[in-house]
Amino acid sequence: MGGKFICNDTLRISKAQGFPEFLSLEKHLNSPYSLNDVEGQLFTFTKPDLRLYQPAPIRVSWVEDIEGKWVYWGMIHVLETTLNFEKNTTSGIYKVVKLFNPQQMRDYFDMKDGVVANNYF
């Protein structure tokens, strides 16, 4: 017998899964948010499947999933995770520790991911 756990170094979530509603990519590209806009706030997420994330103080890449395309917003600390074996979901709490400016968003994608089909830009 075996189980299935997915180990992630990236939290890729849509708005429906817990990406902050008030963060707008369009606004950020024109007038970038700063870390002060999210600092000290705790955010929650829920994703399908059983997933493991590095715990704080290790940084996890933070990606908004926009219709299957990846936008790297910065780095987070995952503070808590809950695995629900009946529903086969993972939920958790995170905080933002680094917020990328628009150029850093593009550069980080090229450096970390590079899969053209995933690129929002």
What residue type is 7 in one-letter code? C
Tell me the mean pLDDT in the region 14-41.
Answer: 97
* Nearest by Cα to 93 from 108, 106, 82, 102: 82
Q: Residue 2: its pLDDT value, please?
A: 59
For the chain, give the mean pLDDT.
95
- Between the two ends of the chain, the Cα-to-Cα distance in Å is 42
Write the pLDDT tens digit of every residue in 33-65.
999 999 999 999 999 999 999 999 999 999 999
Q: Residue 120: its pLDDT value, please?
A: 94
Tell me the mean pLDDT in the region 18-23.
Answer: 98
String of b and e for 38-73 (b: at least 16 CB within 10 Å)? beeeebebebeebbebeeeeeebbbbbbeeeebbbb
Q: Residue 41: its pLDDT value, please?
A: 98
What is the model's pTM?
A: 0.93
Q: Which structural domains are found in the chain, ordered by start?
A: 6-113 (2.40.240.20)
Instruction: Considering only the C-alpha atoms of the chain, give the largest distance between any 2 of them, rounded to a whole number of Å.
Output: 52
Tell me the mean pLDDT in the region 109-119.
Answer: 91
Chain centre distance of CA 41: 15
The answer, yes or no, to whether residue 113 has pLDDT greater than 70, is: yes
Write the pLDDT tens digit of every residue in 90-107.
999 999 999 999 999 999
The answer, yes or no, to whether residue 1 has pLDDT greater than 70, is: no
* Nearest by Cα to 88 from 13, 6, 2, 7: 6
Confidence of residue 74 (pLDDT cuts 50, 70, 90): very high
